[in-house]
Structures are given as structure tokens and as C-alpha cells.
Structure 1
Amino acid sequence: MSVFEALQLMINFSGLIVAVLALVVSIIVLKDKK
């Protein structure tokens, strides 16, 4: 695996984490509004 491939994999993984965190936060906010 080259450095570029490893870097791209890390970027994709961090993007996935950000998406999951945003989903969790939005669910918590929606629950609080009710």
C-alpha cells in the first residue's frame, strides 16, 4: 500500500466518523425538541 492510498483511506474513514457523529447529534437534537 502506498502512502497516497493510506492517506485516502484515512480521509474516507474520518469522513465516515464525521457523518456518524452528525447523525447522532441530529437524533439527540430532534429528541430534545419533542
Structure 2
Amino acid sequence: MLNDLIEKKEVLKKLKRSSLRFMEAPQKMRIS
């Protein structure tokens, strides 16, 4: 149970990091 919570936290951290990177990506990438 506790392990599951820790795993979820790590996944959330990774998701946040990748989404931040996506937001910071230049708008050119979104267009093409």
C-alpha cells in the first residue's frame, strides 16, 4: 500500500516535469 503511494508520487513528478517541458517548448514545434 505504502509502496503504491510512493510510486504514484514519482509518476506525478515525472508527468509534471514532462508537461513543464512541453509548455516551455517553442511554439514553432506546436505548429509543425
TM-score range with shorter-chain normalisation?
0.7 to 0.9
**How many residue pairs end up in the alignment?**
28
| TM-score under structure 2 length normalisation | 0.76
Task: Using structure 1 for the length normalisation, give the TM-score.
Answer: 0.72
The percentage of aligned residue pairs carrying the same residue is: 7
* Unaligned runs of at least 5 residues, structure 1: 1-6
Detail structure 1 runs of 4+ shifted over 6 Å in the superposition.
none
What runs of 5+ residues in structure 2 fail to find an aligned partner?
Answer: none
